[in-house]
């Protein structure tokens, strides 16, 4: 009689898997605690004209979480862990609320705020936006919503309809990290993004990197064809900035022109402290 074969045991996670899961759990707890305690801030980074880098066109608000020690934690350190959770939607709501408040306090500003396509249809996010627009009708024309390429491509039809609705309110849209994901060109012609932000991986050392030059020129050609404003991200050297200016990029963003700062220069010190 043949010996019966034992069923295979379920795969056991590696120590690295367990460690990563624990890191994610700790990250979730940290963000939850920060939300409850309202330890959140936006760090503002200028986006400048390529032809005149002394002129800021708008500022991007980058969400920051403050831990119990007051340490400033950027989104890249926690967003991957919360992106698919409701916690990610709440972070989007908080960022939008702070951005709208900054616009209301400073009538001459234009600001961009990041959001995930997953927040489309999230009642609290839309209620926050509608309340802001009702309180000050000029906010819409000074607000830019940034959606990453990878996020937009998850639900392209939903993003297209969402953009069409809000662009009627004067709101502009930026396709963030362009080139980093897998945008289908059949959708790109339907999206009608106002701004394309070229991902920083193509900008670094572009003055000396022939591959990055070819890829960036291709993205600029696409943007021009669809009449989209262009921003190069992660500009860190004058050589990069000069090459991009000659190539025809409209705007530049990066540490060369200013690091993200939670205390924006446009607000008086007393206003920063009470905001």
Report yes or no: 82 and 31 within 8 Å, Cβ to Cβ.
yes
19: tokens are: 């460690």
Q: Is the pTM of this model over 0.75?
A: yes
150-172: pLDDT as tens digits: 888 888 899 999 999 999 999 99
User: 30-259, what's its fold?
Assistant: TIM Barrel (3.20.20)
Mean pLDDT of 73-91: 89
199: tokens are: 């991902």
Report yes or no: 88 and 107 within 8 Å, Cβ to Cβ.
no
| Domain boundary assignment for the chain | 30-259
The answer for 70, left when phi > 0, alpha when psi is -120 to 50, beta otherwise, is left
Find tokens 């234009």 and name the residue: 110
Going by pLDDT thresholds of 50, 70 and 90, the confidence category of residue 71 is confident
Cα–Cα distance for residue pair 82/100, rounded to 1 Å: 23
Q: Which of 127, 44, 39, 128 is nearest to 78 (CA)?
A: 39
Q: Which of 227, 125, 216, 213 is nearest to 172 (CA)?
A: 227
User: What per-residue confidence (pLDDT) applies to 28?
Assistant: 86
pLDDT of residue 70 exceeding 70: yes
Query: How many other CB atoms sit within 10 Å of the CB of residue 221?
Result: 11
Least confident of 42-51, 137-146, 149-158, 193-202: 149-158
């Amino acid at each position: 009689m043949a010996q019966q074969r034992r069923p295979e045991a379920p795969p056991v996670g590696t120590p690295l898997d367990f460690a990563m899961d624990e890191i994610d759990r700790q990250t979730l707890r940290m963000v939850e605690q920060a939300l409850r305690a309202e330890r959140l801030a936006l760090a503002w980074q200028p986006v400048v004209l390529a032809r005149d880098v002394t002129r800021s066109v708008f500022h991007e608000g980058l969400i920051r979480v403050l831990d119990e020690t007051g340490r400033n934690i950027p989104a890249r350190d926690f967003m991957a862990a919360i992106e698919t959770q409701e916690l990610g939607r709440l972070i989007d709501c908080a960022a939008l609320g702070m951005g709208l408040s900054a616009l209301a306090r400073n009538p001459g500003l234009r600001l961009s705020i990041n959001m995930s396509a997953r927040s489309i249809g999230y009642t609290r996010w839309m209620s926050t936006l509608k309340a802001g627009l009702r309180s000050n009708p000029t906010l819409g024309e000074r607000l830019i919503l940034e959606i990453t390429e990878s996020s937009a491509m998850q639900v392209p039809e939903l993003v297209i309809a969402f953009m069409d609705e809000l662009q009627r309110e004067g709101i502009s849209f930026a396709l963030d990290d362009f080139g980093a994901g897998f945008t289908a060109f059949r959708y790109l012609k339907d999206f009608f993004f106002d701004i394309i932000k070229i991902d920083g991986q193509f900008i670094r050392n572009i003055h000396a990197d022939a591959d990055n030059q070819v890829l960036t020129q291709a993205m600029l050609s696409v943007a021009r064809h669809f009449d989209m404003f262009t921003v190069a991200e992660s500009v860190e050297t004058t050589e990069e900035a000069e090459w991009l200016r000659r190539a025809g990029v409209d705007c530049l963003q990066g540490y060369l022109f200013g690091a993200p700062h939670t205390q924006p220069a446009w607000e008086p010190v007393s206003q920063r402290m009470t905001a």
